[in-house]
Amino acid sequence: MNLGMGAIPHNWHEQIINHLAERIVVVDREGIILYINEAYCEFLGTTVEEAINRPVQDVIENTRMHIVAKTGQKELAAVQPINGSEMVANRFPLKVDGEIVGALGAVMFRNPEEWRMYKTKIQNLAEELKYYKTKVEKELKSKYQFHDLIGNSTTFLAAKKLAERISASNSSVLLIGESGTGKELFAHAIHNNSMRGALPFVAINCASIPEHLLESELFGYDDGAFTGAKKGGKKGQFEMADNGSLFLDEIGDMPLSMQSKLLRVLQEKEVQRVGGQKSIPVDVRIIAATHRDLEKMVEEGDFRQDLYYRLNVIKIEIPSLRKRKEDIPFISMSLLKKMEGKFFRKGIELSLEVKQRLIQHSWPGNIRELENVLERAINVLDGKRIEVYHLPLYLRDKEGEGIDVKEVNHIMNNPTGKNPLPISPLKETMAKVEKEALLNALAVTDGNKQDAAKLLDIGKTSFYEKCKVYNIKYRKS
C-alpha cells in the first residue's frame, strides 16, 4: 500500500531513509542484503558495492538479521558483539499482505561509549527535571506558622486565636484586612496547622492575572484548547492544590464571569479544563482574602451574593497596623532579625527616637510598608543602630503625625501592649477585664454570640448571663 511516498520524488527516498536511521540494512527472506547505506558500510569497514547481494552473516559480524527474516519476531535494543565491542540494534520483520518478505535492521548505538554519552545526556535531563520538580513542590508548601505571626495587642491576639481554633476545620475561610496586614501569612499558618498541612498549599492573586487568563490558570486547559496552548495541556491551580488548600488572594477583584465558574467548582467539587469535556474531581479547602468591602460589593451587584456566603463561612478580620500601634516595636525587631541574614548583619537595633517615629506614623501600607522602611534603613546603615536620619524623608519630616504624644509615651513605657488599669477594688478590676474580653470576642466574631462563647472557651448560657450583667447588646444568631 502506498502511504503517500508517490508524492515524493523517487531520488529523495534514500536520503529520507538515511536521515531517519543513520546505519540501516535490509535483507530478503533468505537473509541476502538488498540495501545497506554508506554510514553502516563505513562502520563495518566495507563498501556498498561489496556488501550488496551477499548473505548478511558474511558482512555483519554476529548478525541475527537472517533469523528475524525467518521467525518474524522483532528484536528491540538487542546487544550485538561487533568489531571487538558491542553495539545496540533494532531488528524488524518486513511483511507484505501478511507474509514475511525480509527484515530491516538499524543500529542505535555503535559502541558502549556512544550509549554512555546518550545515557549521560538523559541523566542530566532527568536530574534537571528532578531539580525543578523539587523546587515546585517546595513552593507548594506553606512557609509560615502561627508563631511567625507577631503581636500582643488584644485585637490581633483574638484574630490569631480564632484562626488557630478553626484551622483544623475544612470550612472556607475569608480573611478581611487592608493591604499589607499579613493576610497571606495567616493563610499559610491556617494551612500549616490543619490536617492538610503536609499537602499542597497553592496561592493565586486574582488581581494580578489578566481576566482572559484567569480561567485557564485556575482550572487548567486541554491540549489544543487555544492558540499557543502547551502540548498535552496544563493542570490548573485547583488540580495542583488537590487534597490541600487554595489561597485566593484579592478575591474581591475577581470578574463576575469568573465568580460564577468558581461557585460551580465549590458546589460540585470538580473542575473542567478549558477546552476539555471531562470533569475532574478535586478536594480543596478555600482560604480567600480581600481588602475590599465584599458586603458593599454584593449590595452594588459587583460580587455574587451566593459566592460571598460560600466563602464567608469563617470570617477573620486582621487589624491594620495603626490599630495595633503597641505591636510596632515587636514587629520591627522581628523583621530586623529576618533581614540580618539577608544583609549579613547582626545585632541591628532601633534608637528610641526611631521607635517613637515608627509609632507616630499612620502606616497606610501596614506591615509591608514597615518592612520596606526598615530594609531601606539597613541599606544606608553604617553601624548597628538605626537613627532617624536613616529613615525615609517622609518619616523624618512628619513628626507627631497620626497619634497623640501621650499615646506614644504610653506605648513606649508599656512595651508588652497590656493596658494597665488604675488601682481599684479587685472585684471592680476583674469586672472591667471580663467586660472587655466579652466585647472583644463579639467584635472578632462580628457579633455572633455562639462563636464568641467558643472563642472565650465558656458555655453559651454563661455567655448570655455575663452579657446581661454588663448590659452588652449583641446580634441575634
Q: Assess if residue 83 is contained within a domain.
A: yes
Please tell me the predicted confidence (pLDDT) of residue 436: 79
pLDDT value of residue 222: 83
Q: What pLDDT, in 10s, does the model give residues 48-94? A: 999 999 999 999 999 999 999 999 999 998 999 988 888 899 999 99
Question: Does the residue 77 lie in any domain?
Answer: yes
Q: Looking at the domain assignment, is residue 129 inside a domain?
A: no
Higher pLDDT, 284 or 467: 284
Q: What is the pLDDT of residues 1-22, one digit of tens each?
A: 454 555 778 777 777 776 666 7
- The answer to whether the CB of 175 falls within 8 A of the CB of 247 is no
Boundary-marking domain end, from 62, 94, 114: 114
CATH code of the domain in which 242 resides: 3.40.50.300
Which residues does residue 33 pair with via DSSP β-bridges, in sequence order? 27
- Backbone torsions φ then ψ of 186, nearest 5 degrees: -60, -45
Residue 427 has pLDDT above 80, yes or no: no
> Quick check: is 133 in a domain?
no
Q: For residues 330 and 298, state if they share a domain.
A: no
Verify that 67 and 26 share a domain, yes or no.
yes
CATH, residue 332: 1.10.8.60
If asked whether residues 164 and 20 sit together in one domain, one would say no
Residue 212 resides in a domain: yes
Neighbours of 254 (CB within 10 A): 23
Provide the number of structural domains found in the chain. Answer: 4
Residues 227 and 369 in one domain: no
Q: How far is CA 377 from CA 213, 282, 393, in A?
A: 39, 46, 11
Q: What pTM does this model have?
A: 0.59
Do 204 and 310 lie in one domain? The reply is yes
The CATH number for 107's domain is 3.30.450.20
Question: Domain limits at 20?
Answer: 5-114
Both 226 and 353 in one domain: the answer is no
Domain assignment present for 59: yes
Note the pLDDT tens digit of each residue in 87-142: 899 999 999 998 999 999 999 888 878 877 877 877 877 777 776 666 665 566 66
Residue where a domain terminates, one of 317, 333, 355: 317
Q: Which of the four pLDDT bands, split at 50, 70 and 90, describes residue 402?
A: very low
* Whether residue 269 sits in one domain with residue 237: yes
Looking from the CA of 340 toward its CB, the CA atoms found within 13 Å total 15
204 & 348 share domain: no
Q: Which of 26-35, 274-283, 348-357 has the highest mean pLDDT?
A: 26-35
Are 298 and 383 in the same domain?
no
One domain for residues 192 and 305: yes
Same domain for 222 and 276? yes
pLDDT at residue 435, rounded to an integer = 83
pLDDT in tens, 289-343: 999 999 999 999 999 999 999 999 999 999 999 999 999 999 999 999 988 888 8
Please indicate, yes or no, whether residues 182 and 300 belong to a single structural domain of this protein: yes
- 82 within some domain: yes
* Per-residue confidence (pLDDT) for residue 275, from 0 to 100: 84
| CA pair distance 187, 245, nearest whole angstrom | 9
Report whether 165 contacts 454 (CB < 8 A).
Answer: yes
- Does residue 336 lie in a domain region? yes
What tens digit of pLDDT does each residue of 165-209 get?
999 999 999 999 999 999 999 999 999 999 998 899 999 999 888
* Confidence band of 456 (pLDDT split at 50, 70, 90): confident
Category of 363 on φ-ψ map: left (φ > 0), alpha (ψ -120 to 50) or beta: left
